[in-house]
A and B are shown apart, each in its own frame.
Chain A
Amino acid sequence: MKIIQKSILLIIALAIFGLNYFLEDNVDGYVLRVIINCGIGMILAMSLNLINGCAGQFSLGHAGFMGVGAYASALITTVLTLSPFFKTDLGVGCAILTGGLAAAVAGYLVGLPSLRLRGDYLAIVTLGFGEIIRICFLNFEQVGGARGLPGIPRVANFFWVYLWVVVTFVALLRLLRSSYGRAILSVRENEIAAESMGINIAHYKIVAFVISSFFAGIAGGLFAHFQSFIDPNSFVFNKSVEVVIMVVIGGMGSLSGAMLGGIIVTLLPELLRAFDNYRMVIFPLILIILMLVRPRGIFGHKEIWELFRKKASS
């Protein structure tokens, strides 16, 4: 069992590596960009799913964490000219990891109010934190202020992004299938019962925020080193909303659903490009209709493969 799992993971990693060269040679630049953006969207959606779907909290500030990761990693590779090492693939990888850690610290700080607040209140506080983070970038001239930060080494390609997609997926799935994951889920299900069964609910809310922000920070770092340019406008409130929509479409609590949501929300505006300006009107309409006709998202709490299993057995 264990060996099978490990070899599957290795094969997937190799496949991504191979696919990287195939795509770079055979697919046009626009399509590849969209594919990579889908990957970043998936990481964001899976990470937010931990807070909004699994821990039952509601964060509306995910773009802020993404921004922290993007700026922190770009700071290392671009602004602070520490060593040429940070221009190499490996160096950028380290920088992105640092960005993730910085976002995790931010997640800890934002997670603290979640101990006292719930529902709409928490949503609005996380929104406030996200905006404050963005306003700080705006006023921080060392990272370009409102003009943004250009010249970030363009290192994050298909391979790096999708490697992180797999890492995020495996890490979160393993977390959820463990005692820690059950503890997080129990907080969503019933806080009072959870604490009566010995679960320190405050602790696990924070844990959810920290882990989630870490991956959001990674997504931000990848985004920065893929676009090679970031500005505070990349991390506005609407970006947070976009990630929430990804999670909601897929089904709150479903990891594979979140991945699908990430793809749909990234692809849809591209597919609706023919409608030009109207796509940004159609998009929220789809969201409203989805809430009216399928309020639990496409998969609900279930994972995609569980749907098939259920059908097979019955």
Chain B
Amino acid sequence: MLQAFLQNIINGLAQGSVYALVALGYTMVYGVLQFINFAHSDIFMLGAFSGFYLAKWLTPIVPNPLVLLLATILGSMVFCVTVGLTIERIAYRPLRSAPRINVLITAIGVSLFLENLGQIIFGADPQVFPALIATKSILNTGGLVLNNIQVLVVLVSLVLMVVLHWIVHHTKLGTAMRAVSFDIEVANLMGIPTDTIIIFTFTIGSALAGAAAILYGLSYPKIEPLLGTMIGLKAFVAAVFGGIGNILGAAVGGIVLGLAESFTVYYISSSFRDAIAFGILILILLFKPAGLFGTFRREKV
């Protein structure tokens, strides 16, 4: 009983950290531009594939697994940032003053484009993500299993989130970002270069998605071009759960969702794994629409 409970917590934490990293990308873009960047999930997918090819190429060259891992993560992050910024420049920036619905539809269009392009380039069949480091169990007592990958996933996520927190709260750029997400027009009037801040936001969000993709590939080594859809939706749910636009909220939301899923699979049925996220979403929006840490702005009459 207790073992099962603890095992679920371990699994949930590992899965939740990936959700949290992806959720951060959603929440930051939403905070600054007030729209759901549907393409974020596909940036995650592209991160996984870039890591896949990069790792294949690097494995014979780099003997040290730790260096290999770091190189793959960094490479994937750089690739995701490039894609994210390209999307922002080509598809989103021209719509800066357009109605929100148009931006939303464009985002959906970009997402479909990347998914379908991915199916052509990578093929629709799942590929096996290379095991960059061998799985070793750290703990294995009485049915309780904890392996090095799980620890790694949680640790890397934690480090990234701490760095993000530091950037947002202790640097000039971070302060400007918070100002823009508070009120983009006023921030603009105050001389904050909003376009630069938006680029900065997309950079961080995409980089986190890239890192998350590698961590995901290590834990669930099957990747395919539609991989981003479900993870993206769940990460978005996590962001809404924590209060969209709120960075701490996204992190907490991701972990909670990971735990909830893990428990649902164990205690109810694995086939409801995907439904639980949406169930949580609907409940939170009905009873606390601003999310756990969010504040709701009422329209002025």
Contact = CB atoms under 8 A, between A and B. Distances in A.
B236 to A, nearest CB: 6
B116 to A, nearest CB: 4
A13 interface: no
A248 B275 contact: no
A117 B289 contact: yes
B100 A120 contact: yes
Interface in B248-299: 269, 271-272, 274-275, 277-279, 281-282, 285-286, 289, 299
Contacts of A278: 120
A155 to B, nearest CB: 32
A135 interface: yes
A127 interface: yes
A49 B277 CA distance: 28
A127 B113 CA distance: 19
Query: In the complex, which range does the number of interface residues on chain A fall in?
Result: 35 or more
Interface stretch (B68-76, B104-112, B153-161): B104-112
Given A139-B271, A237-B229, A291-B106, A277 B120 contact: yes
A241 B108 contact: yes
A238 B111 CA distance: 11
Interface string A126-166: 01110110011011000000000000000000000000000
Contacts of B285: 113, 116-117, 121, 125
Given A278-B120, A281-B120, A123 B36 contact: yes
A287 interface: yes
Nearest to A56: B101
Contact of A135 (B35, B104, B271): B271
Contacts of B66: none
Given A117-B289, A288-B91, A291-B109, A131 B116 contact: no
A62 to B, nearest CB: 13
A195 to B, nearest CB: 11
B301 interface: yes
Interface string B105-134: 110111111001101100000000000000
Nearest to B236: A124
Contact of A248 (B34, B105, B229): B105
Nearest to B284: A125
B109 A288 contact: yes
B116 A284 contact: yes
A121 B286 CA distance: 11
Contact of B113 (A135, A139, A281, A292): A281
B282 A135 contact: no
Contacts, number: 113
Nearest to B300: A192
B275 A280 contact: no
Contacts of A138: 271
B203 to A, nearest CB: 22
A293 to B, nearest CB: 10
B43 to A, nearest CB: 15
A280 B119 contact: yes
A283 interface: yes
A116 B95 CA distance: 27
B237 interface: yes
A244 interface: yes
Given A120-B100, A123-B104, A128-B281, A287 B237 contact: no
Contacts of B275: 131-132, 135-136
B240 interface: yes
Interface in A90-137: 113, 116-117, 119-121, 123-125, 127-129, 131-132, 135-136
Contact of B109 (A120, A136, A287): A287
B112 A284 contact: yes
24 contacts: A58-B104, A113-B282, A117-B285, A119-B100, A120-B30, A120-B35, A120-B104, A121-B240, A124-B236, A128-B237, A129-B278, A132-B275, A135-B275, A139-B271, A192-B299, A280-B116, A281-B117, A283-B116, A284-B109, A284-B111, A287-B108, A287-B109, A288-B113, A295-B99
8 pairs of A and B residues whose beta carbons are closest in the complex: A128-B278, A284-B112, A280-B116, A287-B109, A284-B113, A288-B109, A135-B275, A284-B109
